Each structure stands twice: as C-alpha cells, then as structure tokens.
Amino acid sequence: MNRITNEREYQAITKRIDELLQIVSDDNYDIIPEAIELDFLSGLVEEYENKYYPIAIPTLAETLKLRMYEMDINQGQLATILHVSPSRISEYLSGKEPTLQVAKVMYEKLNISANTIFGVNPTIDYSAKYAIA
C-alpha cells in the first residue's frame, strides 16, 4: 500500500496506529520492528489528512482575538501595545491588513507570524501565480 484511498482504510490504519503507540516508546523505538510499521502508517495518515482534513491557517483577525483573550486585554489596550488607534484595531478585526510598521510590532510584541499577518499560506506555491515572464 502506497497511499490511503478511502475513509475505511483511514479508520483501520488509525486504529492500528493506536495499537502500535501502546507498544512503541522512546525507549524501544530503535530496537523493535513495530516502530518501522508505525512510521510507515503515520506517513500514510499524514498524507491522507493533509488532503482530506486540512487545517486552515488562522486569519489575522482570529489570531488577534486569541491574543487579546490570552493576554486578557481589550481593543483599547491592544491599540496601545501596537501604537495605533482603537478604530484601527477594529479594521484589523474586520480583515484589513496592517502596514509593514504595524506588522513588525505585531510580530515582535504579539508573536504573530508574518504568514498569518499577511494571509500567506506556506503550503501554496505562489511562484506560478506571480511568475515574471
């Protein structure tokens, strides 16, 4: 088997992985043959899940809301941290992209990745779309 082709196979393989995880540990990983099977099956599941159960990259608005919750701050306090007006925060929470200067502050003070700030999905190949002829 070189790939999972349907949900039934996926369910069976994930069940087998659960069984293998009871056997394989960090202590015996290098000495038992079940570790090879676990690695192989895990790779198949990862490929299948990436195709059929992709995890969406959070938007900047979602990430800002999460940071505000984690830091227990409101929009006014976030505005102070980012050196912008509270109305600008509302714009970011509505989907507007920040300037490069504000993006840098978001990265430094809130630990938000540039990919998230600018809505770039690192799994997409943008080279064909923006190729220079």
CATH number of the domain to which 98 belongs: 1.10.260.40
Q: Which tens digits make up the pLDDT trace of 14-72?
A: 999 999 999 999 999 999 999 999 999 999 999 999 899 988 788 999 999 999 999 99
pLDDT at 68 (0 to 100): 97
Domain of 14 in residue numbering reads as 7-52
Of 129 and 108, more confident: 108
89 C-beta neighbours (distance < 10 Å), count: 22
- For a pLDDT cut of 70, what percent of the chain falls above it? 92
Packed helices 75-82 and 86-93: angle between N→C axes, nearest 10 degrees: 100
Pair 41, 81 in one domain: no
Pair 28, 74 in one domain: no
pLDDT at 1 (0 to 100): 77
Mean pLDDT of the chain: 91
Enter the tokens of residue 45.
Answer: 């599941």
State how many domains the chain has: 2
Task: State the Cα angle at 24 between 18 and 30, rounded to 5°.
Answer: 145
pTM over 0.75: no
